Structure 1
Amino acid sequence: MECIVSLKRLDPGQYGQLKYASAFVDEHIEEIRLDEARQELLLVHHSPLGNDVIAERLERLIERFSKGDFGFKENRLFENRGPLPYNGDIIAELVQAKTIKVLEPGLFIFREPFSSLMRFMDYAFVTKVAKPFGVTEESYPAVIHCDTLNKTNHFTSFPEHIHFLTHLREDLDVIEGFSQSVREAGGWKQDAPLALDANMPKPRFAMNPSTCYHCYEGLQGETIEGDGLAVTAISKCHRFESRNHTDFGRLLDFSMREIVFVGKPDYVKENRLKSLEYIQDLAREWEVDSYLEVANDPFFTNDFQVKASFQRNQEMKYELRLTIPYLNKSIACSSVNFHSNTFGSAFNIKVGKRNAVTGCVGFGIERWVFAFLSQFGLEESGWPARFREQYEAWKEKSL
């Protein structure tokens, strides 16, 4: 079935957000098509609920994103025009070269040289952006307490992303019964009647959706000395994005390097602005076609416009977006965020007698590599000279 809704009362700047959110309207959505010229969104589905229900849900989303009397204005702070010597379908080339193995949309295995580029870029982000702040390195688990996510308001802001973790109950009959049912089904099968819901407890953990959350969790109840501290860490992050995993760069499982500032307002604000300079320097040095803009998080809430507008008006989030030439679009590869005292209050982190403020700088490692290769291709001879020199020096040092 096809469900078509009009977008005429929605600002064009919100079309992308609506298209993204539409993937979560119903689990039976097969295809989403946005026709900007006709101002229409079309959903192809086989939902037993029928077109009327699907249309009503889409209208609810349109209402959510159309609240307010203005659209989000583009606000670029920096732009770097790169040479863009390559214009091919980099994903197809990587798959053909067996450099990446696509297990399913958004879930990849990375091989050389992609895997080396990931390690090199992470090294560069640490040395060129993080180290000037005197950071200390931390290592975080890939899972996180649900109680911690609750304190960050993740359940109410981004509920669609959450990957819950659970297990079979500590019950011999349940465990043996599960094993036997899988055996009788001829192995694990997605549609096998395994009665998992009844045999699994309410989850206490989820896969970690953002590196910085563990930093705040680790500082809970502590008092920061001096003006503040800077921490860096890289961890695997996980976000479920439904059909959006077919979009370029939207991974189910990805690596995020973050620099986290915790302390007095001036300390966090000044370092956050300084990090913007380092990121711009890096974009120029590597000759990546990119721009830095004021942005907002994709809140999945009825008060989206209120939260997103506040973020933008206060310039609490910047994104560095890199061009993907063959798609004629860009993707966010780094973000620079200011949280005020939200996390300091939630986790009782003090600076003196006041709650600490926080900010963070994030680098999506796989996205950076994908975007770089989409601009310069797989042939190393076509890469910018300074990038190539740094990469070769790193390889020699890391062997």
Structure 2
Amino acid sequence: MTVHVELSERLSPAQLRAIADRLVYSVEGISAVEVLAPPGERPVLALSHDGDLGGQDVGPIVAELVREAMTARMSEPRVVRRRQPDSRLAEPLPVDGATAALPVLHRAFDAMFRDLAHAAGAGERRCPALIDLRVMERCRYLRLFPQNAYLVDELPHHQPLLSRLRDGSATLDELRRPSGYMLNPALCFHFYDELAGTRSDGLTVVTAEGDCFRHEATGRLDRFRLPSFTMREIVFFGAPDEVERLRGELMEQVWQLYRALGLYGRIETATDPFYYVEDSAMRQHQLLAQVKYELVASRPGGGESAIASFNNVRDSLCRQFDIRRTDEGVMHSGCVAFGVDRWVELTLETFGPEPRQWPEPILRHTGASSAEGKD
């Protein structure tokens, strides 16, 4: 069903986007939010819902989001790199037969990103899928981004209770209990835990590839936005100028790689998906302080998707984990994160599943020469 909610205020495009983004995580079952803003009229939200949603049920939530949007300074992202096509991109290519191409492209892109990390002096790490909740509490992740968390349950190691599960006298919901873990929303948190309480000089750079998990709104799930996905991260710790310098270098290297692949899009300032109204100031600070940049891909057919981020979180997480320089000076940290699956899907949409159609940088990292790939 679709419910229309008229907004009582005139709002900017940035404010309307912020309301729509928050709303899909604030009402269970919303599959899509469309902003209808006829010229000269007040905007209307068209909410597609999987069940029986009455306008009166969602009205107070929308009103709260509008109040937040009206009181917060909503700045438009600042674009720092852009590559636009001369005309509208063609429709996505069919990906029939892409099953065999998926692992090949996955390995190729991860190899590209790993090469960037090694050139920056990164040490290799391997991260498990689970992370201790105590680490995440120290990061304040659940306080800031509860909408994306996947918590892990467990069954008690108690034979009488497990026997009841087997014979059907107890249900799974009756016996499950919270564990002390959650699924990784990102890999970098493991490194803060690894370095907690340490003192060091110079620049420390580490990299890892692993599985990450985020509880996305159902209506947003597609081939680009998955609840389980692969991430490659390059994480770095050092003096403030060292961290900003390395972030800038990696951002430029990734942009040049992106251009060499013949892809279109932009790099712009961005924010993390803070959930609560009282955190809107943090969102605005990230935009103004250029804490986060995203590489936003222009997809065939007109869609867009962020496929990489470049972050300088200053001393916020190092302070939480008591990570300092040897002279007790302030330690800053940053990371560059790649959504490997999204790079793969963008390649399939743009060039198709046949290796002979792939750009040269991909072929080099598959072990095939240009001539072999184009035959």
Does the TM-score normalized on the shorter chain lie above 0.5? yes
Is 2:214 aligned against 1:239? yes
Contact preservation (8 Å) 1:262, 1:356: yes
Choose from 100, 108, 125 the match for 1:112: 100
SS where residue 177 of structure 2 aligns? coil
Is 2:225 aligned against 1:222? no
Letter in 1 for 2:355: E
Aligned position for 2:35? 34
CA-to-aligned-CA distance 1:292-327 (integer Å, 9 cap, x gap): 11111121111243111100111110111111121x
Letter in 1 for 2:143: T
Contact preservation (8 Å) 2:203, 2:239: yes
Structure 1 pair 19/255, CA: closer, same or farther in 2 (3 Å)? same
Aligned position for 1:285? 260
Aligned position for 1:62? 66
SS where residue 169 of structure 1 aligns? coil
Query: Which has the higher mean CA deviation after the structures are superposed, 347-356 or 205-214?
Result: 347-356
Cα distance in 2, alignment partners of residues 248 and 18 from structure 1: 24
Structure 2: gaps (5+ residues): none
Choose from 323, 343, 351 the match for 1:368: 343
SS where residue 166 of structure 1 aligns? strand
Choose from 98, 110, 132 the match for 1:122: 110
Structure 1 pair 209/391, CA: closer, same or farther in 2 (3 Å)? same
Is 2:224 aligned against 1:249? yes
RMSD (CA atoms): 2.6
Aligned position for 2:239? 264
Cα distance in 2, alignment partners of residues 340 and 45 from structure 1: 40
Is 2:28 aligned against 1:51? no
CA-to-aligned-CA distance 1:62-81 (integer Å, 9 cap, x gap): 3233322x432231111124
Aligned position for 2:78? 75
Contact preservation (8 Å) 2:31, 2:219: no
Structure 1 pair 268/180, CA: closer, same or farther in 2 (3 Å)? same
Cα distance in 2, alignment partners of residues 56 and 34 from structure 1: 18
Letter in 2 for 1:59: A
Contact preservation (8 Å) 1:25, 1:54: no
Letter in 2 for 1:332: A
**Shift of the alpha carbon at 1:285?**
1.5
Contact preservation (8 Å) 2:5, 2:55: no
Letter in 2 for 1:78: R
TM-score (norm: length of structure 1): 0.84
Structure 1 pair 135/11, CA: closer, same or farther in 2 (3 Å)? same
Letter in 2 for 1:121: F
Superposed, which structure 2 residues align to 1:157-172 within 5 Å? 157-172=144-159
How many residues get paired? Answer: 366
CA-to-aligned-CA distance 1:164-203 (integer Å, 9 cap, x gap): 112112222221112222xx8xxxxxxxx8262x423333
Letter in 2 for 1:72: S
Cα distance in 1, alignment partners of residues 209 and 239 from structure 2: 24
Aligned position for 1:149? 136
CA-to-aligned-CA distance 1:260-319 (integer Å, 9 cap, x gap): 011221221111111112112111211211211111112111124311110011111011
Structure 1 pair 163/131, CA: closer, same or farther in 2 (3 Å)? same
Cα distance in 2, alignment partners of residues 51 and 320 from structure 1: 37
Percent identical among aligned pairs is: 25
Structure 1: gaps (5+ residues): 100-110, 185-192
Aligned position for 1:310? 285
Cα distance in 2, alignment partners of residues 179 and 355 from structure 1: 55
**Shift of the alpha carbon at 1:50?**
4.1
TM-score (norm: length of structure 2): 0.89
Contact preservation (8 Å) 1:81, 1:287: no
Aligned position for 1:4? 4
**Shift of the alpha carbon at 1:248?**
5.1
Structure 1 pair 49/78, CA: closer, same or farther in 2 (3 Å)? closer
SS where residue 227 of structure 1 aligns? coil
